[in-house]
């Protein structure tokens, strides 16, 4: 009798968790697609407004800067306002930004519209990650991996859809269609996503298992920053490395696609791997594997190097899902949104700065040695992971 009652009680909770994951995954796909469709439109805007490459980079930077810079304020706001309301408003604002971009008459209006859309997207990562974390509790690692993976689906689907729409209609009408899709997603959040609640409503009841959160989170953030730096640094040099091995432009495109396909698979699988074997073992596997495969790509001929790229993509991106899934374990329950906001800000910032730093290193030492430096950076993460493991419940050596 008690068993059936307990099963009946858990079923609604499981349904709510599934709804939260489904809706936040859809929202993640939308926002990541919104972020990357700009790349498709840059040549169109260059022709339309006679823009220099510097101004095109500025347009992209306005969106990315607004998205990255506002995540921490959004995390703090979520401690006072229900996260679901913030997520609805942010998604609608991001869609409206593209509406205004479609009606813009010049580069200034276009830039302001993109900044507005980026500001709306700043709500997505901290709020949605926290919603999935709270919905699944201690079993959140795998679902957070699925949530992380859904963003890659959006990066693939929405820019491709944009390219198709540009063939049959103007870029302005294309943006209006995509904005309408965003408003539909905001409605889906309003109708089907369970309430997230205010961060302040999640008391310190579970804080006893997070006594070491202060130092532990800083180790996690450092690992996330370095892991992103390795990924972005390697991808910066990969086309040039393959070109020197004799790759044509189409072959280079295929190679990058293989890395991204492997990366999507890594995000999906490594979250579950972390749940089963622990954060430390998973990070050691992915980072040492990343270093070894980067070096292998450097020394192997073109064809074997390309064959290794999907597996390298798994290793490059797999760590991220494990790290996202660890954020809630190192954070008091009422500060989860703030922690996710800080973590995403650090990793996004690293993704912007790392290519510049590795690029300067490439200018000084050449692309081969600069790529070796990315492998060394991956190995440098391993001792940081051992330091982090002392703060984790899934580490067998933790006290």
Distance CA 114, CA 108 (A): 10
Identify the pLDDT of residue 265. 85
Handedness of CA 63, 67, 73, 74 (dihedral sign): positive
Do residues 267 and 376 share a domain? yes
Coil, helix or strand at residue 100: helix
146 in a structural domain: yes
Residue 137 CB partners (closer than 8 Å, separation 6+): none
Note the pTM of the prediction, 2 decimals: 0.78
Position 289 in a domain: yes
Task: For residues 317 and 322, give the distance between their C-alpha atoms in angstroms, rounded to a whole number.
Answer: 10
73 and 144 within one domain: yes
One domain for residues 106 and 22: yes
328 in the same domain as 210 = yes
**What φ, ψ does residue 78 adopt, rounded to 5°?**
-70, -15
* 200, 219, 234 - which closes a domain: 200
Paired tokens of 367: 């692309």
Residue where a domain stops, chosen among 177, 200, 223? 200
Does residue 318 sit within a domain? yes
- Which of 149, 175, 200 finishes a domain? 200
Same-domain status, 370 and 348: yes
In-domain check, residue 64: yes
62 with 186, same domain: the answer is yes
Same domain, 181 and 210: no
pLDDT tens series, the chain, 399 aa: 444 444 444 556 788 899 999 999 999 999 999 988 888 888 889 889 988 878 887 888 889 889 988 999 998 888 888 889 999 999 999 999 999 999 998 899 999 999 999 999 999 999 999 899 888 887 887 788 889 889 888 888 898 899 899 999 999 999 999 999 999 999 999 999 988 876 545 544 444 444 444 458 889 999 999 999 999 888 888 888 888 898 887 888 788 888 888 888 888 788 777 778 888 898 999 999 999 999 999 999 999 999 999 999 999 988 887 887 788 888 877 778 888 889 888 888 888 788 888 888 888 898 899 999 999 999 999 999 999 888 876 554 444
For residues 208 and 196, membership in a common domain is answered with no
Cβ atoms of 255 and 247 closer than 8 Å = yes
> Cα–Cα distances in Å, from 280 out to 289, 313, 379, 396?
14, 20, 13, 10
Structural domain count of the chain = 2
Say yes or no: 74 and 157 in one domain: yes
Rounded Cα–Cα distance for residues 364 and 362 (Å): 5
Range of the domain at 210: 204-389
- Residue 379, domain CATH: 1.20.1250.20
Same domain, 340 and 355: yes
pLDDT at 298: 94
Model confidence over 174-222: pLDDT tens digits? 999 999 999 999 999 999 998 887 654 554 444 444 444 445 888 999 9
pLDDT of residue 128: 93
Residue 14 domain flag: yes
CB-side exposure of 313: number of CA atoms within 13 Å?
Answer: 21
């Amino acid at each position: 009798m008690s068993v059936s009652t307990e099963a009946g009680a858990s079923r609604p909770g499981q349904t709510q968790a599934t709804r939260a994951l489904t809706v936040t995954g859809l929202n993640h796909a939308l926002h990541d697609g919104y972020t990357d469709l700009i790349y498709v439109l840059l040549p169109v805007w260059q022709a339309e407004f006679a823009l220099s490459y510097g101004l095109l980079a500025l347009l992209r930077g306005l969106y990315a800067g607004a998205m990255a810079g506002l995540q921490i304020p959004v995390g703090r706001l979520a401690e006072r306002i229900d996260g679901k309301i913030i997520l609805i408003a942010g998604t609608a604002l991001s869609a409206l930004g593209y509406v205004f971009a479609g009606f813009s008459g010049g580069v200034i209006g276009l830039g302001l519209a993109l900044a507005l859309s980026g500001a709306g997207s700043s709500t997505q990562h901290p709020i949605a990650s926290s919603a999935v974390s709270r919905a699944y509790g201690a079993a959140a690692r795998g679902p957070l991996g699925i949530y992380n993976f859904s963003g890659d689906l959006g990066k693939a689907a929405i820019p491709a859809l944009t390219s198709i729409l540009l063939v049959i209609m103007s870029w302005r009408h294309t943006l209006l269609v995509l904005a309408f899709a965003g408003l539909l997603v905001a409605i889906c959040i309003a109708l089907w996503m369970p309430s997230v609640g205010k961060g302040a409503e999640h008391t310190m009841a579970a804080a006893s298992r997070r006594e070491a959160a202060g130092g532990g989170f800083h180790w996690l953030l450092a690992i996330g920053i370095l892991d992103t730096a390795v990924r972005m640094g390697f991808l910066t040099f990969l086309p040039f490395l393959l070109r020197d091995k004799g790759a044509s432009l189409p072959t280079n495109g295929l190679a990058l696609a293989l890395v991204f396909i492997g990366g999507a698979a890594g995000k999906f699988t490594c979250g579950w791997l972390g749940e089963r074997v622990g954060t430390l073992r998973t990070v050691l596997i992915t980072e040492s594997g990343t270093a070894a495969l980067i070096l292998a790509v450097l020394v192997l001929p073109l064809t074997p190097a390309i064959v290794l790229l999907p597996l390298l993509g798994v290793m490059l991106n797999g760590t991220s899902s494990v790290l996202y899934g660890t954020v809630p374990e190192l954070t008091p329950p009422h500060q989860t949104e703030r922690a996710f906001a800080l973590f995403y800000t650090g990793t996004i910032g690293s993704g912007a700065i790392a290519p510049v730093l590795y690029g300067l290193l490439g200018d000084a030492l050449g692309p081969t040695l600069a790529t070796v430096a990315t492998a060394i950076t991956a190995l440098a993460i391993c001792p940081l992971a051992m330091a982090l493991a002392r703060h984790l419940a899934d580490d067998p050596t933790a006290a």
